[in-house]
Structure 1
Amino acid sequence: MLEQTRQDAPSPWHEGELAMQRSVGVVERMDGPGRNFVRKAMPEQHRAFFPMLPFLVLGAVDAKGDVWATVRAGRPGFLASPEPELLDVDLPRDAADPADAGMGDGDAVAMLGIQLETRRRNRLNGVIRRTQAGAFHVRVGQSFGNCPQYIQPRSCAFVRDPDLPTAMQPLRSGQLDDRMRRMVEGADTFFVASYVDRDGGERQVDVSHRGGYAGFVRLGADGVLTIPDFSGNRFFNTLGNFLVNPKAGLVFVDFESGDMLQMTGRAEVLLDSPDVGTFEGAERLWRFTAEQIVFRPDALPLRWSKETPDLPRRSRG
């Protein structure tokens, strides 16, 4: 049973999220869910969920203000919640990961715990407190769950010790080569990070899942990505952030090889584009232009295999 709306609690939605909700006429309808389900502590279900995971999706902002999304792996148990307001993370620093530059003591961070085989996912954001290079904890700012819609089920297994980094070096580039383009054009899943600086100087970072049929991301000859946005939970965390701050970080994973493609750049929300009709079921679009690209072969010690046929063509993260 839903708990009574906490009218005394402040709305978690910032102006960008409210603008997106206003565009579809759901501001009043989303006020109650925002106050009830966007919490400042993790519920017991989430605290039990994170320690089961072999990998974690993160969003972080570097010193230049660029936002990056990344995926980090560890043996189940590398995440733990000693109390509802804290998540302990046992991960070493990784100089090869551009997101690591934004994961120092006091930095704002976002986390997505996602279990692909069961299609469960839970999100949180907060502030890193770090006293050593090999671990940190996050003081929770916001914690909330997401529905399982359009997550492609996959099972995974380790192919090496997650504490052993790959010997392969990252490749930094200003544009996508053929190998990178194939990753984008063939993807049925990616993750996106975004952020806003709220009143009072609080930085709020978000990282979320986007998924659908293979090829749901359209890649132009100029390297610009066009991504459809479909009916979802109406939180509009990602697109609302883009309206306030058009910086975005994307990460694509090759689930068979462990390769990762990370990009940071600028996003544009298209509410009324005539191109919406060319994407089946899309309600709106957004475009992403990469400004920095990092391709990291064999970055992840995990390999995934699909458990079911491809998702239906309508997709949403």
Structure 2
Amino acid sequence: MAGYHSGESAVQRQAGLLRQAAFSLGGIHDSIPDVAAAFLAEQPMIVLGGADARDRMWATQLVGQPGFLGVPDPRTLVIEALPETDDPLHELLTDTGPGGLPARVGMIAIEPATRRRMRINGRVVRERRQLRVAVDQVIANCPKYIQKRERVVPEDRPKGSGPRVVTEDTELNPDQQRAIGAADTFFIATASGDGDADASHRGGNPGFVRVLSPTLLRWPDYTGNAMFLTLGNLVQNPAAGILVPDWDTGTALHLTGTARTVWDTDETAQVPGAQRLVEFTVAAVREITAACDLRWSGPAFSRFNPPVG
């Protein structure tokens, strides 16, 4: 890692956290250490972010039995799964291959039961029924704002399972608005001005994401590691994608649009724990029921979550 790009440095400077950001740079590496490879081998899911053919950012989730994420060498991640044809990143992740240009993706693996997570950014190509990622960045993150959940293996048919149904729109319907307003976790995908993708986690108590209208969301940016990889990307490229998982039913709510950071101190002061605010304008919605067969217990909320006003 040579350092942060100009968008990340600009946000660090405006936040007054250049010294902390310089320290945090030591947490960004260009290869996967053995302990991280062991962590990945235990995971049943990974979230990926990238841009579609129209340069819209999306975030999605791939799942499999533990072991479906492999590290044959420290600079390579192999994912033994491909997205379904109705997944918003299907074309990005399946139209690449040997001899073609690799797609740039950001990824985050998260283990709710232990509140552990790690991010990997790189370039992916498809090889038969697997994805092969050449690693550019490996980022260790702290467990703040992750809600603890245990994986549930139901004896009978999983709650909410049924036919896979896809609905699309340009705004959020009332049920989707309620789901987002009750969410304690979502994932956000962004990219730099050069197209390097990143995927990150956001968490808080239910209600931390406010639905201001069918096309406008707002959430607080809490104290973190001062890298500002997401907000820094938004300085250079406002495109963003959001995945809101339903931990009970496996439904995936995908949003794409644009995002911006709100630095207004008066507005920020009205939101407990907020250092800044982020507003997301919805351009397209894709909801997929029965998108994931994983099921999880109810959350034990992170002790770091600020109260919701």
TM-score (norm 2): 0.91
AA in 2 matched with 1:150 = Y
Count of residue pairs brought into register by the alignment: 298
Does 1:78 find its partner at 2:68?
A: yes
CA contact (8 A) 1:213 1:311 kept: no
AA in 2 matched with 1:87 = L
Output the aligned Cα RMSD: 2.1
Q: Distance in 2 between matches of 1:309 and 1:20?
A: 28
Q: How does 1:151-166 map to 2 (within 5 A)?
A: 151-158=146-153
Q: Distance in 2 between matches of 1:246 and 1:284?
A: 16
Corresponding residue to 2:91 among 72, 90, 101: 101
Corresponding position of 2:22 = 31
Q: Distance in 2 between matches of 1:272 and 1:101?
A: 39
SS of 1:220's partner is strand
Q: How does 1:102-181 map to 2 (within 5 A)?
A: 102-103=92-93, 104-105=95-96, 106-132=102-128, 134-158=129-153, 167-181=163-177
SS of 2:114's partner is coil
Q: Distance in 1 between matches of 2:20 and 2:46?
A: 31
CA contact (8 A) 2:243 2:253 kept: yes
Write out the 4+ residue segments of structure 1 that deviate beyond 4 Å after TM superposition: 158-161, 309-313
**Which ranges of structure 1 fall in alignment gaps of 5 or more residues?**
1-8
Corresponding position of 1:6 = none
Corresponding position of 1:276 = 268
CA contact (8 A) 2:70 2:78 kept: yes
Corresponding position of 2:10 = 19
Q: How does 1:198-213 map to 2 (within 5 A)?
A: 198=194, 203-213=195-205
Q: Distance in 1 between matches of 2:181 and 2:168?
A: 20
**Shift, 1:223, TM fit:** 3.0
Task: Spell out, residue by residue over 1:199-223, the C-alpha distance to the aligned partner (whole angstroms, 9 max, x if none).
Answer: xxxx310101000101100101343
Corresponding residue to 2:38 among 48, 54, 57: 48
Task: Spell out, residue by residue over 1:266-295, the C-alpha distance to the aligned partner (whole angstroms, 9 max, x if none).
Answer: 101111253212210111001001101001
- Per the alignment, do residues 101 and 273 of structure 1 end up closer, same or farther by CA in structure 2, a change over 3 Å counting? farther
Task: Spell out, residue by residue over 1:247-280, the C-alpha distance to the aligned partner (whole angstroms, 9 max, x if none).
Answer: 1100111111111110000101111253212210
Corresponding position of 2:290 = 298
Corresponding residue to 2:206 among 214, 228, 242: 214
Task: Spell out, residue by residue over 1:214-243, the C-alpha distance to the aligned partner (whole angstroms, 9 max, x if none).
Answer: 110010134310110011100101111111
**Identity over the aligned pairs, expressed in percent?**
34
Q: Distance in 1 between matches of 2:82 and 2:89?
A: 13
